[in-house]
Amino acid sequence: MAKYLVIVESPAKVKTIKKFLGANYDVEASNGHVRDMPKSQLGIDVEHDYEPKYITIRGKGDVLSNLRRKMKKADKVYLATDPDREGEAISWHLYHALKMQEQDKQVARITFNEITKNAVKASLKAPREIDMNLVDAQQARRMLDRMVGYEISPVLWDKIKRGLSAGRVQSAALRIICDREAEIDAFIPQEYWSLEADLSCDGEKKPLKVKYYGNKDGKETVTSRERMDEILGAIAEESFKIQEIRPGERTKKPPLPFTTSTLRQEAATHLNFSTQKTMRLAQQLYEGVEIKGHGTVGVITYLRTDSTRVSEEADGAARAYIAENYGDNYVAPTSGEKKSGAKIQDAHEAIRPTNIAWTPAQLKVSLTRDLFRLYQLIWQRFAASRMSAAVYDTMSVKISAGEYLFTAAASKVRFDGYLSVYADEEKKDGEAGLMTKGLTRDTVLTLLETAPEQHFTQPPAHFTEATLVRALEEQGIGRPSTYAPTITLLLARRYIAKEGKNIFVTDLGDVVNNMMKEAFPTIVDISFTANLEALLDKVAEGEIDWKVIVSNFYPDLKEAVETAKEELANVIVKDEETEEICENCGRNMVIKYGPHGKFLACPGFPECHNTKPLLEKAGVRCPKCGGEVIIRKSKKGRRFFSCEHSPECDFISWQKPSEEKCPQCGSYMTERGDKLICSNEECRTVVDKREKS
């Protein structure tokens, strides 16, 4: 009787897939990659057509020996690694590492988008050859990353400290984060005012709340207390009249099913999951979980995808489920999916449940809390994507007070549609009761109360993992499989730090980014990195030869590295000497960079191990007690300013203080680029530093 060997990547899939196949099938795992370029060298022969050198990964010898034994007993081998570029490359490496070309056996590549009995059996009926376009795209990406890492990292070691690294996607991502931090630091708040008014309506107990809109010339942004007082004085003498009542309707389209990026963003927003946690849990749901009454089965489709496409079978099943459980009017008239862009790998479906009938309520007893919460989010999003739009009744009212205009608006859900399963927004009714007040053009209005309020514009928000993923995706940096590892690596290298959900650049990250911008501007150039990703997609589509990209990239990189070694010789001082004397051996201590930023160390290491915190002076006096202001680091590495006499003096500021006093209120001012801004939240006076000098 024939014997078949199926090789997958993950041991977690083995049990699931074995259950679907008969006794004639042996299922084994490669545990990821089995070959890679050596760590001890570049691993690319630049003299001979940029040919990569591959060796067996340390520790994978036993895995390969086991696979060879299993292969000898099999008549046919199925390479069933993941359905993406990385998976295709693993199959290709297995083919060569196991010397399948020398075996008198049939070898076929199979892929499945979900680990269910139907999908696995269907894949066996549609075997194919290894797609070398996908393999070459992965090889090119790996080689470009290796070139950047192995050529630039030694420059960082030499100029800053050992153990640092640069990366093609990593460095571009760090640049994006640093640019946002620079925007925040340079941001100058602008004053503006809002005005709400309560109006009594004939026959109504509750007042009508309206907002100031502008005047006969159009919408107005009020930017000063003086202007607001002028408006308040004018409307106090005027009668309020309804100028226009406009009823209407609006629809809100259902969301698209999840891609890798949108899943990470929504899991961060709704579940407070990190990018890494979301992917780890999704991997478990994809590879197989124990479901009561069904055994081990994959409950979602493949988790790395750019596509929102859904198979006809899954689409039909979802529509039938919605019609039966919610009604025909809840079924969307069309699938609602957008057409794939040029860069989308449309071979994959969106992330969806493998069986729409397995509701979150049914699976709750079989899943851990976090697995359940993520599955519920995926199920609800997919179900919503096949449902009708939500329909709102709306009403807007325009009210005049002399030449000034006020507005009120409200909306009320008439038909909840997809919101019945996926509430991606609060069901707000706007101005309470507006829809039921029975307003007409003749309704008599009387001004009861006004509520002016001062505001200041806010700086751009710090990145969170979710918004950083969105920014990387929008700018074409990396791909779904690279987002989580990139963020994880930046955190591990301590180039960035997290406080709560927010991401901040550390001193070390700032130094590395500045050096990369100066010495390797192309590598951190967002457009260049995005264009390179587009070229790799062209390789996957068979339109460009992979070695053309590699051979064009390397010479320019090598030249930049040689230039950097010469020109950066005096830019970064590795060990800046200080006046601080080591109490152990009498040497002048030097400034070094550590995981948490700068610190003082004895240059006599390893004979002398003495280190101490670096009290870096900001060069200004404390606004409260006159002591020195010191630059300190939070536990996560974020920079802040406090007094040398802390904790006796409680002065603290995220922005560098100035010794200048606010000309309006006398509070201390802080530096924002070439401006000084008052630290008093109620004042916020801005002064140009150049005028002071």
Rg (CA), the chain: 31
What sign for the dihedral angle of Cα 256, 261, 266, 267?
positive
Of 106-110, 129-133, 284-288, 473-477, the range with the lowest mean pLDDT is 473-477
What integer best gives the mean pLDDT of the chain? 89
302 is catalytic: yes
**Please, which residues have CB within 8 angstroms of residue 58's CB and are 6 or more apart in sequence?**
none
pLDDT at 174 over 90: yes
Give the residue-averaged pLDDT of 418-425. 85
pLDDT at 347: 58
Output DSSP code: residue 398.
E
Pairing of strands 639-643, 652-653: antiparallel
For 180-239, how does the pLDDT look when each residue is reduced to its tens digit (9 = 90+)? 999 998 888 888 999 999 999 887 788 899 999 998 889 999 999 999 999 999 999 999
Give the residue-averaged pLDDT of 647-664. 90
Residue at token pair 């049914």: 362
pLDDT at 570 over 60: no
pLDDT at 569: 57
pLDDT at 338: 47
pLDDT greater at residue 69 or residue 162: 69
How distant is the alpha carbon of residue 221 from its chain centre? 33
Question: Cα separation of 123 and 182, whole Å?
Answer: 51
Of 19-23, 93-97, 377-381, the range with the lowest mean pLDDT is 19-23
Instruction: Identify the active-site residue in 302, 422, 495, 668.
Output: 302
Q: Which residues pair with 686 in a beta bridge?
A: 677
191-253+390-456 is classed CATH 2.70.20.10: yes
pLDDT at 682: 81
pLDDT at 597: 62
pLDDT greater at residue 428 or residue 177: 177
pLDDT at 435 over 70: no
Q: Are 318 and 383 in contact (CB under 8 A)?
A: yes
pLDDT at 483: 87
DSSP codes, 56-78: EPTT-HHHHHHHHHHHHH-SEEE
Give the residue-averaged pLDDT of 38-67. 94
Structural domain boundaries of the chain? 4-130, 139-187+461-567, 191-253+390-456, 261-340+352-384, 576-692
pLDDT at 345: 45
DSSP codes, 456-473: EPPPPPPPBHHHHHHHHH
Q: Would you identify the CATH topology of the domain 4-130?
A: Rossmann fold (3.40.50)
pLDDT at 573 over 50: no
Q: Are 590 and 608 in contact (CB under 8 A)?
A: no
45's enclosing H/E stretch is strand 44-45
DSSP codes, 521-584: TTTT-HHHHHHHHHHHHHHHTTSS-HHHHHHHHHHHHHHHHHHHHHHTTTTS-SSEEEEEEPTT
Output DSSP code: residue 379.
H
Give the pLDDT band of residue 484 (cuts 50, 70, 90). Answer: confident
Give the pLDDT band of residue 429 (cuts 50, 70, 90). Answer: very low
Q: Are 325 and 258 in contact (CB under 8 A)?
A: no
Question: Among residues of the chain, what percentage have pLDDT more than 70?
Answer: 93
Give the residue-averaged pLDDT of 100-124. 91
Q: Are 304 and 283 in contact (CB under 8 A)?
A: no
In a 3-state reduction of DSSP, which class is residue 79? strand
CA–CA distances in Å: residue 371 to residues 109, 284, 367, 480? 31, 8, 6, 20
pLDDT at 437: 67
661's enclosing H/E stretch is strand 657-661
Pairing of strands 588-594, 597-601: antiparallel
For the chain, helix, strand, coil in percent to 5 are: 35, 25, 40
DSSP codes, 204-268: -SSPEEEEEEEETTEE--B-SHHHHHHHHHHHTTS-EEEEEEEEEEEEEPPPPPB-HHHHHHHHH
Q: Are 196 and 209 in contact (CB under 8 A)?
A: yes
pLDDT at 133: 96
Give the residue-averaged pLDDT of 358-379. 96
Question: Cα separation of 456 and 671, whole Å?
Answer: 17
pLDDT at 201: 87
Neighbours of 432 (CB within 10 A): 12
pLDDT greater at residue 575 or residue 135: 135
Q: Are 302 and 359 in contact (CB under 8 A)?
A: no
* Nearest alpha carbon to residue 84 among 480, 567, 583: 480
pLDDT greater at residue 219 or residue 508: 219
Question: Cα separation of 255 and 458, whole Å?
Answer: 29
Question: Cα separation of 6 and 26, whole Å?
Answer: 6
* Nearest alpha carbon to residue 329 among 420, 255, 411: 420
pLDDT at 341: 43
What sign for the dihedral angle of Cα 464, 465, 470, 473?
positive
For 297-356, how does the pLDDT look when each residue is reduced to its tens digit (9 = 90+)? 999 999 999 889 999 999 999 999 999 999 999 999 874 444 444 344 445 799 999 999
pLDDT at 156: 85
pTM above threshold 0.85: no
Give the pLDDT band of residue 432 (cuts 50, 70, 90). Answer: very low
Q: For the chain, what's the residue count?
A: 693
pLDDT at 336: 46
pLDDT at 162 over 60: yes
pLDDT at 541 over 70: yes
pLDDT at 672: 83
- Report which residue type is found at 126: A
Question: Cα separation of 53 and 38, whole Å?
Answer: 8
Q: Are 668 and 684 in contact (CB under 8 A)?
A: no
Phi, psi torsion values for 327, nearest 5 degrees:
115, 155
pLDDT at 424: 67
Q: Which two tokens stand for residue 198?
A: 């309560």
pLDDT greater at residue 577 or residue 548: 548
139-187+461-567 is classed CATH 1.10.460.10: yes
Question: Cα separation of 479 and 269, whole Å?
Answer: 21
For 449-478, how does the pLDDT look when each residue is reduced to its tens digit (9 = 90+)? 999 999 989 889 999 999 999 999 999 888
Q: Which two tokens stand for residue 262?
A: 């949108």
Which range is most confident: 42-56, 202-216, 613-627?
42-56
Output DSSP code: residue 331.
B
pLDDT at 5: 96
Give the residue-averaged pLDDT of 397-423. 93
pLDDT at 91: 97
CA angle 430, 433, 436 (to 5 degrees): 120
Q: Which two tokens stand for residue 598?
A: 């700068």
pLDDT at 325: 96
Q: Show the beta-strand stretches assigned E in 320-444.
A: 390-401, 404-415
* Nearest alpha carbon to residue 569 among 519, 513, 517: 519
* b/e sequence 488-518, b meaning 16+ C-beta within 10 Å: ebbbebbbbbbeeeebbbbbbbbbbbebbbe
pLDDT at 15: 86
pLDDT at 525 over 70: yes
pLDDT at 691: 64
What sign for the dihedral angle of Cα 83, 88, 89, 91?
positive
For domain 261-340+352-384, give the CATH number. 1.10.290.10
What sign for the dihedral angle of Cα 526, 528, 532, 538?
positive
